[in-house]
Structure 1
Amino acid sequence: MQQSNAYVITFSVVLTIVLGLLLSGTSEVLKPIQQKAEALDTKKQILGAVMPVEEIAAMKPDEIDAFYESRISSKVVNIDGEEVTEQDGATVTAESVDVGKNYKKDPADRLYPVFIFHEEGNADDAISYIFPVYGNGLWDNIWGFLALQTDVNTIEGVTFSHAGETPGLGARITSRDIQNRYVGKEIFDDSGNLVSVDMQKGEGRDYSGEDHMVDGLSGATITAVGVNKMLRNYLQNYQSYMDKIKEGNEVALK
């Protein structure tokens, strides 16, 4: 039996509304689960900058949460290295700062999270300082965490992630082999100037004797350049805070 145009239109509208409500409801139900998964992944990336990835992989989610709570303290600073605890009337925490959204702002207006890896049971005994970094790769955003030893110069470790770099090429920044190249490198030169660490063009050379260079990514020069810019830009933005640590005017946690 052929239905009238009015019936077909009404049915389509009602069906669209019902499906929209169902999708919206499902999204709301799944949102807390998704947020919890994202928070867990961020904790893994932070911890990955200061401990073997194999140890993290062996932990269950609740064990990662417990370890993070017992060994990581955090704060938020501005580009002048001053601690920020409130913005627009709301409490600010390092875990609540969306580094990706902040990246769209002028550097002077951004919030900069700092994560401090410390001895268990002693938040004042810092082992390393972990700084989020964010930038652009070849196709999309790249980001990561860089950990510095207490001299605020020597790299303890890094973790890198990406949204859409080429598999087998730029996407290799997520591999431990690439990330381990940064361990032990230094971000300041002998005169105290911030020079960061540069991934070189090409791959296969030995830079073990160079404090500020690491081997490159074959076939992924643009991604490597993006990593270099990302590290240099964010380390510059954290420099005022690092200077306070070196001058002894900053403690691990207030």
Structure 2
Amino acid sequence: MEEKSVNKTNSNGYTFMFAVIMVIVVASVLAFAATSLQPTQRENVRKEKMQNILATVGIETDRDGAQELYDKYIVEELALDQNGEADESINAFEVDLAKELKKPVEEQVFPLYVAEVEGEKYYVVPLRGNGLWNAIFGYISLKDDVNTVKGATFDHLGETPGLGAEITKEWFKESFEEEKIFDENGNLVGVSVVKGNIDASDKNDNKVDAISGATITGDGVSNMISERLKRYLPYFKKQGEIKVAIN
């Protein structure tokens, strides 16, 4: 009897059944853990988004303080259509830019965040485009002349470490500060990432220095800035306090 029991536990059927049970148990534990963590993950994503928006207007914070400072400095959230009209039925903060970009332009929603910091007004525009391997994205804020960049932040899903991934570095983001998005004729040209001898002190040339070895990522940054910003021209043209000519 003892020998039969040993043979039974060593059989293929027993091994298979044990493996099936273990797979079910492990899958159940992982599914439970994933479901339990979803609210925390969503909240972390929300707060990180607030941090990035605030960073473009010079407000640095950790996740714990993000909500309080966001509520303090972001005075308006707008969901704009292609004509620059706000749709109050849409929560601008919840707009998924990745999904919007898959729609025709006339159907897209364009989120805009208005900040007031120490008496100064800023407009924060979400960005999204294509890098070398995957999506790149971020935010760029404009001063109340809607021409001068206050700050910018960038991130990516799969750019090469040491090359395209350098768009997340402080030195690259800081190079955009005070750059102009309109040329001398009032045409919106954005800020281009360009190879060559760029004069970092010239803030009227609409250019910043490129990252060595990351031409395609740099072009992606240039393209997404100009493409996204031009979608907001209809709104900016309607604002009476604009101080620059916009064509």
Please give the residue correspondences for 1:1-254 in structure 2 after superposition, counting only pairs within 5 Å. 1-3=6-8, 7-51=14-58, 56=60, 59-72=61-74, 73-86=76-89, 92-119=90-117, 127-202=121-196, 204-209=197-202, 210-246=204-240
Worse-matched range after superposition: 95-104 or 232-241: 95-104
Assess, with a 3 A threshold, how the Cα gap between structure 1 residues 94 and 126 changes in structure 2: closer, same or farther. Answer: farther
Deviations along 1:220-248, one digit per CA (max 9) or x if unpaired, are 11111010111111011122122222577
Question: What TM-score do you get using the length of structure 1 for normalisation?
Answer: 0.83
Assess, with a 3 A threshold, how the Cα gap between structure 1 residues 221 and 38 changes in structure 2: closer, same or farther. Answer: same
Assess, with a 3 A threshold, how the Cα gap between structure 1 residues 21 and 76 changes in structure 2: closer, same or farther. Answer: same
Q: How far does residue 217 in structure 1 lie from its aligned partner after superposition?
A: 1.3
Partner of 1:245, secondary structure, is: coil
The percent identity for this pair of structures is 36
Partner of 2:99, secondary structure, is: helix
2 CA distance for matches of 1:85 and 1:190?
Answer: 35
Worse-matched range after superposition: 171-180 or 102-111: 102-111
Root mean square deviation of aligned Cα: 2.2
Assess, with a 3 A threshold, how the Cα gap between structure 1 residues 48 and 195 changes in structure 2: closer, same or farther. Answer: same
Q: Which has the larger radius of gyration?
A: 2
Question: What TM-score do you get using the length of structure 2 for normalisation?
Answer: 0.85
Kept after mapping to 1: 8 A contact 2:131/2:217: yes
Structure 1 residue ranges, 4+ long, deviating more than 6 angstroms after superposition: none
Gaps of 5+ in 2: 1-5, 243-247
1 CA distance for matches of 2:7 and 2:236?
Answer: 75
Q: When the two structures are aligned, how many residues end up with a matched partner?
A: 233
